[in-house]
Structures are given as C-alpha cells and as structure tokens.
C-alpha cells in the first residue's frame, strides 16, 4: 500500500507546504510508504529548496500506480487530475475554498474581465477612471481591486449555490479549516466524509515564537501583506507610511519574512483569505499584533482565535470601512503594544503546540481510512 500526494513542482507557498508536511508525517511518524507526486514538472529537480528538509520521496504524477490498495491525495485546485485514475482510492485535500471556486468554476478570460469591469463600475466607478488613465496606478493598484473582486465573486457563487463539489468516487475530503469544513457541509458532503487536518507552521517560526525577549527588539514599524490585499489596505498603508516604516511582505521568501516580522509590531492583512492562511499566524508567532478582516479562513474564531478588536468587520467588500478610524486604532495599538501583545499569549501558545494537535488530526485520518 502506497500513499501519493499530488503537488505542484518547484513552488513554495502555503498550500504545497501543507502537502509536504503531510508527506513527511505519514512517512516518518507513521511509517506509511508515501510519495510526493509532482505535476507541472519542467525541471529535473522539482523539489523547492525550502522543502528538501522534509526528505519526501517523489515521482512524476503520471508514474502513480493505479492500484486499489493505494491512495492518492490531491489538492482542491486540481481535482481534474484524478479523472485518469480508475482503481486507486481518491482523497481531495481542500486547502482553501476560494481557490477551489476560482480554479474550477471560473468563466472564460473575456467574461471574467467583463465581470471585473461590472464590479468596478458598481463599487469603484471613480477609481476605475484613474486605473484607465494612469498606467502607473494601473500597474500598482489593479491587483488589489481584483483581489476584492475575487472575494465578491466567490461569495456570490456560494450564495447562489452555483458550486459543484466533485463527489464522484471521492473516498474522503480533508478540510484545512473550519471554513472549509462548513463549506463542504453546505455543498452536501456528508459529515463522515470530512476530516479536519490543521497543519502547523514551519519549525523556524515555532522556535522564535517561544522567545519572549523578541519584544525587546521591536521597532515602531508595520508589516503589510500586500499580496492578497484589498484597495482599502493600500490606501490605509499610504496614510500610515507618513508616520511609520512599512515593510511589504509579498513574495519576500521565508528568511526575509522572518527577518521582517521579528522587528515589526503590527501586521496588516485586510484582504482575500482563501483558507486558514499562514502569514497571519506567522505574524502572531513572531509577536505581532494582527489587523485582519473576517473573510474566509479568518472568519471563524476556531481558525483564527483573536479578539474582535483585531478583526475588521468586513467580508468581501471593505470599501465603506473608515480609514481614518483604522489609522487611529493602529496608532493606539502601536502606542500600547507591550500591553496588547499579552492578549495574544494564548493564541501564540496554541501555535507553538499546534504540531501536537496536527499529529492527532493525522492519526484520526489514518484510522478513518484504515491504514
């Protein structure tokens, strides 16, 4: 019996990290013969350098042994790759909700652009003019509007019940968060076919999370996760930059991420959260006060257990949030950092001990499928 875990070649993001963590845990903690099966391979070595530490065996996915005694685990964004296998036991690992919908229920590029234009006309007509007239603004800002459009599109699809979850011959669904689990139940997946596996942060973050002296070296600066931000976040950051140093975190790599979060006091991530995202948890682990919105993977307290004072109350459209109020709130949080950071001790301790919870989740998964 062999377990194969599908993963994209040579890519380092939160989703593939969870796949490698599962591979390593099954192989070395539970002695189950496990392989990463790469798709989208274009190089001889498809293993990203950050994943070599997991020592996972790997093969190209087309070399999978389609045998009824074997199991294949596919991330939710590539369910179509399972169609070619007829005998193997199939499991879908839902690392997100939004990415699943955006990858499997998107319309043509032309219609998507048309829908995005309608979104802009409805919510940001004046900003649309600036985007069309100013090329520099268009390059820097258009993706923030598109992020908000994606959240709006996903919410609309779910409310209209236009989602089709792949049921055919799927043995089990792994949910990465309560957000995913609730979504799957809403789509008619039976409770006994859903199992929760909440992957932990990488050990580099856990070691730093245990160092309480880190707060002594903090500076009055802010980390901004710009990659999935909404327009309101960009406008807020422009205002905050007049008073504080801002560090952008989009595509900085793990080492730089740790370096920045180790010196900042505030972490801002108001935007698209397809699943139980790692960066907000990494920020809390490295002794930052998180300012997030309640979208998706940060909606439920179980997925991101912080006080509502740290969560901006907007889901998909955040344009009506008072930026001036947010600016004042963040300034007060910066001023009272050493008091407020103590309110996150329980959450930080949860993050430190999350690997123990993870092992329990994986054990339940193994028992569930009878390995």
Q: What digits encode the pLDDT tens for the residues 149-173?
A: 999 999 998 888 778 887 668 889 9
Instruction: Give the whole-angstrom CA distance, residue 333 versus residue 271.
Output: 20
Looking at the chain, the whole-number percentage of residues with pLDDT higher than 70 is: 97
- pLDDT at position 352 is 94
Q: What is the pLDDT of residues 261-317, one digit of tens each?
A: 999 999 999 999 999 999 999 999 999 999 999 999 999 999 999 999 999 999 989
- pLDDT at position 141 is 79
| Token representation of residue 251 | 């595509």
Q: How many CB atoms lie within 10 A of CB 55?
A: 12
Mean pLDDT (the chain) is 92
Name the pLDDT band for 137 (thresholds 50, 70, 90): low
Q: Which of 128-132, 323-327, 329-333, 339-343 has the lowest mean pLDDT?
A: 128-132
Report the length, in residues, of the chain: 371
Q: What is the pLDDT of residues 187-226, one digit of tens each?
A: 999 999 999 999 999 999 999 998 888 999 999 999 999 9
- pLDDT at position 167 is 67
Q: Which CATH architecture has domain 203-352?
A: 3-Layer(aba) Sandwich (3.40)
Distances (CA, A) of 193 to 92, 158, 175, 341: 10, 20, 10, 39
What are 311's strand-pairing partners?
292
Q: What is the pLDDT of residues 39-94, one digit of tens each?
A: 998 877 899 999 999 999 999 999 999 999 999 999 999 999 999 999 999 999 99
Is residue 106 scored above 80 in pLDDT? Answer: no
Instruction: Give the whole-angstrom CA distance, residue 245 versus residue 160.
Output: 43
Residues of the chain with CATH 3.40.50.2000: 3-100+164-199, 203-352
Q: Which CATH class is domain 3-100+164-199?
A: alpha beta
- pLDDT at position 168 is 64
Give every CB contact of residue 65 below 8 A, 6+ residues apart in sequence.
2, 88
- pLDDT at position 139 is 60
């Amino acid at each position: 019996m062999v377990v194969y875990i599908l993963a994209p070649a040579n890519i380092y993001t939160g989703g593939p990290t969870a796949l490698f963590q599962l591979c390593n845990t099954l192989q070395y903690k539970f002695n189950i013969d496990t392989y990463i099966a790469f798709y989208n391979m274009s190089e001889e070595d498809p293993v990203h350098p950050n994943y070599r530490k997991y020592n996972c065996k790997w093969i190209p996915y087309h070399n999978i042994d389609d045998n009824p005694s074997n199991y294949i685990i596919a991330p939710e964004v590539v369910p179509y790759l399972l169609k070619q296998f007829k005998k193997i036991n199939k499991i879908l690992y839902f690392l997100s909700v939004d990415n699943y919908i955006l990858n499997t229920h998107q319309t043509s590029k032309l219609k998507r652009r048309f829908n995005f234009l309608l979104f802009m006309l409805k919510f940001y007509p004046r900003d649309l003019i600036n985007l069309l007239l100013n090329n520099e603004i268009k390059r820097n800002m258009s993706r923030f509007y598109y992020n908000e459009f994606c959240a709006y599109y996903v919410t609309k699809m779910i409310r209209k019940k236009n989602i089709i979850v792949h049921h055919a011959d799927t043995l089990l669904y792994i949910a990465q968060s309560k957000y995913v689990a609730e979504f799957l139940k809403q789509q008619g997946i039976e409770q006994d076919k859903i199992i929760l596996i909440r992957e932990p942060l990488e050990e580099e973050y856990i070691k730093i999370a245990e160092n309480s002296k880190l707060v002594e070296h903090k500076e009055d600066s802010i980390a901004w996760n710009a990659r999935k931000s909404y327009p309101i976040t960009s406008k807020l950051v422009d205002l905050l930059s007049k008073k504080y140093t801002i560090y952008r975190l989009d595509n900085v790599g793990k080492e730089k991420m740790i370096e920045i979060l180790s010196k900042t006091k505030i972490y801002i991530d108001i935007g698209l959260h397809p699943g139980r995202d790692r960066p907000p948890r990494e920020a809390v682990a490295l002794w930052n006060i998180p300012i997030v919105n309640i979208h998706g993977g940060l909606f439920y307290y179980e997925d991101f257990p912080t006080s509502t004072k740290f969560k901006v109350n907007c889901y998909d459209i955040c344009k009506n949030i008072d930026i001036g109020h947010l600016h004042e709130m963040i300034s007060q949080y910066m001023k009272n950092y050493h008091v407020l950071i103590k309110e996150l001790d329980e959450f930080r301790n949860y993050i430190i001990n999350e690997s123990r919870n993870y092992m329990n989740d994986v054990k339940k998964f193994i028992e569930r499928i009878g390995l």
